[in-house]
Structure 1
Amino acid sequence: MRDLADAWRAAVQGAGATADNHAIAAEGSALLARWAEPHRHYHTLEHLATVLSIVDEEEAAAEQPDLVRLAAWFHDAVYDPHTPGDGNERASAELAVGSLVTLGVPTTAIDGVRRLVLLTAGHAAQADDPDGALLCDADLAVLASPPAAYDAYAAAVRREYEFVPDAEFRAGRATILRHLLELPALYRLPDLAERWTEPARGNLIRELGALDH
């Protein structure tokens, strides 16, 4: 994985930003600070780097890979576990708009990034949306991890919600897992779906079974 600051600059410039390098670097530093907030245990710089690396590996599947990269940068940029529903995704999308306007990114590109960020609220990418498919697949890659790594991910998410009573957390988490299992497809890109669907479903079913007991 490239240096994150370099990756940010390349994506912003690839999307058509007109701002100078200093302004681009300042926005990137502000984003990195958000991803490094102390209340994060899973939604961290490591998660960001993982999503970006998958986008890099699979960029041939995308129509506008730099917009997918920018959406990856912003998709969890606002992350407050106390926020209900899709409030974090909406706030992240609006942060993206403000930041990218400041950097002189064209309006059509900004609209594309905003749409992609909002898509991560439910991960229901359509079959005719390769950019959305790539972002959602990359964001959900952790679900296909080996069992020990998946369990570490689930434990990190629980730490982010440590203020939630156990019974309430179990019910909320189970709702999320069932939503993922009920998606028409967990992964949309054919090569990723072939490799990741079976282990991901196995992990989700295993965690759901543990939550229900």
Structure 2
Amino acid sequence: MDIGTPRTDTTDLRPDLRARWHAAVTAAGAPADLDPAPYADRLLTAWAEPQRRYHTTAHLADVLARIDVLAPHAADPAAVRLAAWFHDAVYRPDRSENEERSAALAERALPELGIDAARTAEVARLVRLTVTHDPAPGDTDGEVLCDADLAVLAGTPQEYAAYAAAVRDEYGFVPDDAFRTGRAAVLRQLLDLPRLFRTPHGTAHWEAPARANLAAELAALTSGDSPG
């Protein structure tokens, strides 16, 4: 599986994503007589909003595919998959409360789908964890979600450049100097983590290339050049 390339053609993703949503809510305990399709459609509409360039349905599909690889490490794979659906369900590049609003959306929607309170709370906790991507030791659900979300950092230099360009497009309203400053701060925060990836698979396959890509982008930003 190509873990690094952000997909740009979302034409054929929706049927597969609807099927994935149905499987996820079923595995999480939703009653068989409740139709989850309207919730899938609302979430997919949110993920396809025009202000998104990287945080799109393609990103959602990629995160779910990476969770498939990492799922044996999770204590509650069903909760992790639902958290992936909600983790960027609310996304405005000019707002700082996206994760909190996304978690609150999960807290409203999942009980309506018949998901029990404990699993709903776990999904919301995981969504909030994507603010820092720094799960506590032993938090295997958090490790899987965060690793899946960050795996894009481990692509080839060309794939990473495409990802970085998509992020820049999302922040097109920000002047270049301000973007460089803010993006550099994000990159430093990530590089300062003792480990970017916590699962065995992520550590073995994604840590080294991701750090190389982050360091290269940071160097390009701080020198005034475009990354990639």
Task: Calculate the TM-score normalised by the size of structure 2.
Answer: 0.89
Equivalent AA in structure 2 for residue 4 of structure 1: L
Instruction: Provide, for residues 17-71 of structure 1, a one-character-per-residue CA deviation record: whole Å limited to 9, x for no partner.
Output: 237343x110110000011111111101111001001111221111100100000
For 1:65, which of 77, 86, 90 is the aligned residue?
77
Q: Aligned partners of 1:152 and 1:142: how far apart in 2?
A: 10
Equivalent-residue separation in structure 2 for 1:74 and 1:183 (angstroms): 24
- Residue in 2 aligned with 1:185? 195
In structure 2, the partner of 1:5 is 18
User: What CA distance in whole angstroms lies between the structure 1 residues aligned with 2:75 and 2:155?
Assistant: 27
Distance in 2 between the 1:101 and 1:153 partners? Answer: 35
Match of 1:149 in 2: 159
* 8 Å contact from structure 2 (residues 25, 78) kept in 1: yes
Tell me which residue corresponds to 1:135: 145
Q: Which residue of 1 aligns with 2:49?
A: 37
Contact kept, 8 Å, 2:70 with 2:201, in 1: the verdict is no
Which whole-Å CA distance do the structure 2 matches of 1:203 and 1:115 have between them?
A: 29
Superposition deviation, residue 163 in structure 1: 0.4
Maintained 8 Å contact 1:15/1:66: yes
Q: Which amino acid aligns with 2:187?
A: L
Q: How much does 1:191 deviate?
A: 2.0
Unpaired runs of at least 5, structure 2: 1-12, 224-228
Per mean C-alpha deviation after superposition, the further-off stretch among 12-21 and 169-178 is 12-21
For the residue of structure 1 that corresponds to 2:95, the secondary structure is coil
Q: Deviations over 1:80-129 (max 9, x none)?
A: 00103xx0000000011111021111000000000000000110012200
Q: Which residue of 2 aligns with 1:198?
A: 208
What is the alpha-carbon distance in structure 2 between the residues aligned to residue 153 and residue 124 of structure 1?
Answer: 21
Q: Greater shift after overlay, 70-79 or 10-19? A: 10-19
Cross-structure match for 2:217 = 207
Given candidates 54, 57, 66, the residue that maps to 1:54 is 66
Q: Percent identity?
A: 53
Aligned AA for 1:14? A
Write the distance in 2 (CA, Å) between the matches of 1:33 and 1:19: 24
DSSP-derived class of the 1:127 partner: coil
2:90 equivalent in structure 1: 78
2:4 alignment partner in structure 1? none
Q: CA deviation at 1:152?
A: 0.6
The TM-score, its normalising length taken from structure 1, stands at 0.96
1:116-127 residue pairs with structure 2 within 5 A?
116-127=126-137
| Structure 1 runs of 4+ with >3 Å offset | none
| Native 8 Å contact 1:19 1:104 kept in 2 | no
Partners of 1:19 and 1:151 lie apart in 2 by 44
